[in-house]
């Protein structure tokens, strides 16, 4: 799977050859087929693993965050940003190669994947409902939060100046700004 991840990431699913993956993995072609039933199965395994990990990270973070919408938004953004950095390559694959899942797999996968935006949606709507978030456009705010977090995988360089801690702080700040967070009693 490591080999598949690297090769898929470098070339893209369709341009990647299963021979390249086998070579990268130090396996013979047939040995690879012994463990995975085919190219598609490798992709599925990668994406499922990535998604499960991400979902779990979010759940844990949200469970610890309690009920406050601001705290929950904070937790969600933190979990997402950290995930995009921690599993940067997998994040890219999830964004780019999901479309190459075959119809069977695709449906269920997308369904599960899209539960998370729904969660974020709820958080923001809660915040709006109780007056913490003043944004007039909760839908677009939610889309933007996701888009900006996802994009991290495309540009972040672990070797650069920006530490993950700082990155998280900044994205949390941006998110709260986006939803126009008003401190309670600040109205």
Partner DNA sequence: CATGAATGAGGGTTCATTCAT
Partner DNA sequence: TATGAATGAACCCTCATTCAT
**Is 18 among the residues that bind DNA (CB under 7 A)?**
yes
- The rounded Cα 183 to chain-centroid distance in angstroms is 28
At which residue do the structure tokens 């369709």 appear? 14
Q: Which two tokens stand for residue 5?
A: 């991840």
Smallest separation, CB 60 to a second copy (Å): 25
Distance from C-alpha of 30 to C-alpha of 36, rounded to nearest angstrom: 10
Distance from C-alpha of 124 to C-alpha of 68, rounded to nearest angstrom: 11
Which residue(s) pair with 181 in the sheet? 133
Site string for a second copy, 85-104 (x = CB under 8 A): -----------x--xx----
**Is 177 among the residues that bind a second copy (CB under 8 A)?**
yes
**Is 34 among the residues that bind DNA (CB under 7 A)?**
yes
**Is 158 among the residues that bind a second copy (CB under 8 A)?**
no
- Collapse the DSSP code of 37 into the 3-class scheme (helix H, G, I; strand E, B; otherwise coil) and give the result: coil
Interface contacts to DNA, rule CB under 7 A: 16-20, 27-31, 33-35, 37-40
Note the residues at the interface with a second copy (CB under 8 A): 12-15, 96, 99-100, 135-137, 140-141, 143-144, 146-148, 150-151, 155, 170-171, 173-174, 177-178, 180
């Amino acid at each position: 799977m490591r080999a598949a991840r690297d090769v898929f990431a470098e070339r893209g699913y369709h341009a990647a050859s299963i021979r390249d993956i086998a070579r990268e993995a130090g396996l013979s072609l047939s040995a690879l087929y012994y463990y995975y039933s085919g190219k598609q199965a490798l992709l599925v395994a990668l994406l499922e693993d990535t998604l499960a990990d991400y979902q779990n990270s979010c759940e844990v973070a949200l469970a610890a965050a309690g009920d406050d919408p601001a705290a929950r938004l904070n937790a969600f953004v933190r979990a997402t940003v950290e995930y995009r950095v921690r599993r940067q390559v997998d994040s890219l694959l999830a964004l780019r190669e999901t479309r190459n899942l075959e119809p069977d797999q695709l449906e269920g996968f997308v369904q599960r994947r899209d539960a998370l935006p729904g969660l974020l949606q709820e958080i923001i709507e809660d915040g709006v409902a109780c007056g913490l978030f003043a944004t007039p456009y909760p839908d677009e705010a939610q889309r933007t939060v996701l888009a900006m977090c996802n994009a991290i995988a495309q540009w972040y360089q672990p070797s650069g100046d920006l530490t993950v801690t700082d990155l998280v702080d900044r994205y949390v700040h941006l998110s709260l700004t986006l939803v126009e967070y008003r401190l309670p009693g600040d109205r």
